[in-house]
Structure formats: structure tokens, C-alpha cells
Amino acid sequence: MYELNLAAHIARLRHKRKITQEELADFMGVTKASVSKWENAQSTPDLQLIVHLAAFFDVTVDELLGYEPQLSREQIRRRYAELSRDFVNLPFDEALERTRSLAHQYYSCYPFLLQLCVLYWNHFMLAETEEGRNQVLEEAVAWCTHILENCSDVGVCSDALVLKAGLDLQLGRAAETIDALEPVSDPARLAGQDGSLLIQAYQMAGKTEKAKSFVQAKQYLDLLNLVSDSVLSLVLYASEPKRCEETIRRITEVMGQFHLQQLHPNLAAQFYYQSAVFYAQNGKNKDAVNALGCFEKCVNMLLRAEKIVLHGDSYFDLLHEWIESLPLGEMAPRDRNFVGQSVQEALLHPSFEGIQTNREFQRLRSRMTEGGRNHA
């Protein structure tokens, strides 16, 4: 799909030259009314006039036309899925080149470029050297900057800002991340109430189903954020064992109540894994192995699924519309085979050195390593 913005570009270039419609009309040998119709998209100059306009404004014909290749939502999802598989099945440099080629081709398709940044962030660790990994991240940062400087879509720019902040943090630039996010992440800001206000507005307007769908999506995201933040909490409070144990107890109960293992096995796996790391670091080997057992169950759900998709359940039964509105829809940001390849590395965490001789850990590692190979 391609978009042409000839009308807007003629008007913009004319204003940049600081000439009137009448002056442009005199130069082109047409009437002022013709120029007005061009700028209002009521008519289009013929091919010969387009060439003359490009020469007059000293731009290429493509620039004058505003020729910008754009992908539809479905095309973006399809290409993301293809590239995600490439990073699993092809040499890293070859997958990287394919991605760069598409980025150059669709450099003005900002929603697609944003997803390529996500793709890079999810696969940069496959580069063989630290320099190579940092290079991939820096390239994604540059794409985010390009989006922020040129895209007029507020939603895309908002996502690009957060993504750039995350990439900067991955590169060790904490100060840049703080500068970017601190002004917009204050919990006391009224912007945090926008979802609740919108739900009430839907209800007042008689759009009850819309309100129900929105409140479910909000609850779902709040649940995921709670668990995700708890993973960070286990790292942040690693020196406070009692607090970490209480965090694990509470979040485990919440996850059980909402069946998070089935609803979102990837996030549940992250929580169980970090719990296992905490237990192992504190010499609670039995608890560590138990947590890794839960981690294994979640990983198996991901590996055995026909495909990894975002979904609701009998409680979150109105998520379909919201999921469909996401840039990647129900698609997971990483290919299932990538999950299998990551299992071996996960079990090599230094914290697990103290349980290497534990028989249950050895059996679990054997099962997961074999399972990861079978799906790689």
C-alpha cells in the first residue's frame, strides 16, 4: 500500500517559498483556481505539470508526491512473523540484513518501523559479541528517534518514547531513561485516570458492551503489570528475604486466582524463574527447585502450543477487540522456537550452582534441555 500526499506537499512547499497561489499559478501557466484545487485535493496536476512543479520547488517527483510506502496492519504482522522466524532459523547477520532492508524500504511507515525496533529488542542478544549486541540496540534507538522526529501519530510516538527509553536502559544509559520517562510516569498525574474516566463515559453514553470490554482490558493489563512489577521487586529487594518471600506468597495467590499460568504462561514463567533465583541465592534449594518446576510447566505450555498467542479466558471473555487492536494482534513478539533455545541459558544462571547436584534439578534440567532442543 502506498500513500500520496501531493496536495499537502504543494501547499507546504509553496509556503516554504513564501509565494502566493497566484504567483505559483503564473509560473506554471495555470489559473489561481487550479492551484487552489491542487492544494485542496480537488484535482491533480497532469504528469508534465508535476515534473515542472518538482523542478520549481527543487525536489524529486517522489518528494513532491509525498510517495511513502505504507504497510497495512495485517502486512505488518505478517512481515514481523516472517522476520521473527528468520532470527531463529537463519544466521543472525542474514536475519539482520533482511530486517534492515525492510526498514530502509519502509522508513516512513512508522508503525512498522516501531515493530522492527521491538523485533531488535527481542533478538539483539543473539549477536555473538557485546559490540554486535550494542550495535543492534543503537540502530533501534536511531529508528525510535526518527519516529519521534517525524511521525505525527501521537500513539506511535508515545510507544516510540517508551521503547527508546527501554533501549537506552538496556545500553546502560539510565540517566537518559529517567529524563525521558520521569515527566510522564508520575503516578499522581491526572493522565493515569484516563482509563477509568473513559469507562464511565462509555457507560453514561449507553455503550455498555464497550465499557465492559474496556474495563476487562484495563483489569487484564493491571494484572500483568502487577506480576511484572513483582518480578522487578524480587530483584530490587533481594537483600530483604522476608519481603521477597511475602511478595512471592501474595503474587502466587493472585496468579492462582486469575489462572495466570494458562492465561499468560510467558509472564508466569518469568515470575517463577525469578522466584527460583531468589530462593537459590538464599540457600532454600527445595523452594528453588519447586519454583523451577512451576517454571517448567509454563515453558511446556509455550512449547507445546500450536502457536503462542495472546488470549483471554472465561473471565476475560471480552478481550478479542482489544487484542485485535494491538500492533501485532494476538501474535507473540518472539517465535516459539526462540523460547526453546532460551531454556538452556536460563538454567545456567550462576545462582543455581548450589543445586547442580540436586537430583530433581538434574532431572528437570534434562527434561527442559531436551524439550528445548526438540522445539528449536
Q: What is the pLDDT of residues 89-102, one digit of tens each?
A: 999 999 999 999 99
**Whole-number percent of the chain with pLDDT over 70:** 94
pLDDT (mean) for 54-58: 89
Largest separation between any pair of C-alpha atoms in the chain: 88
DSSP one-letter code for 309: B
Return the pLDDT at 34. Answer: 93
Rounded to 5°, the CA angle 229-234-237 comes to: 110
Predicted model pTM: 0.75
Q: Which residues are bridge partners to 69 per DSSP?
A: 2
In terms of Cα–Cα distance, which of 219, 221, 229 is closest to 250? 229
Ordered domains of the chain (ranges, CATH): 2-69 (1.10.260.40), 73-181 (1.25.40), 192-374 (no CATH)
Reported as a single tens digit per residue, the pLDDT across 65-92 is 766 668 889 999 999 999 999 998 999 9
* The pLDDT of residue 274: 97
- Average pLDDT for 248-275: 96
Mean pLDDT calculated for residue range 309-324:
93
Q: What is the mean pLDDT of residues 266-289?
A: 96
Model pLDDT for residues 121-172, shown as the tens digit of each residue: 999 999 999 999 999 999 999 999 999 998 989 999 999 999 999 999 999 9
Distance CA 320, CA 213 (A): 9
Please report the pLDDT score of residue 345 as a whole number: 81
Query: What residues pair up with 2 in beta bridges, in sequence order?
Result: 69
Question: Does position 190 have pLDDT exceeding 90, yes or no?
Answer: no
Segment among 128-132, 171-175, 329-333, 352-356 with least mean pLDDT: 329-333
Q: How confident is the model at residue 2, as a pLDDT?
A: 46
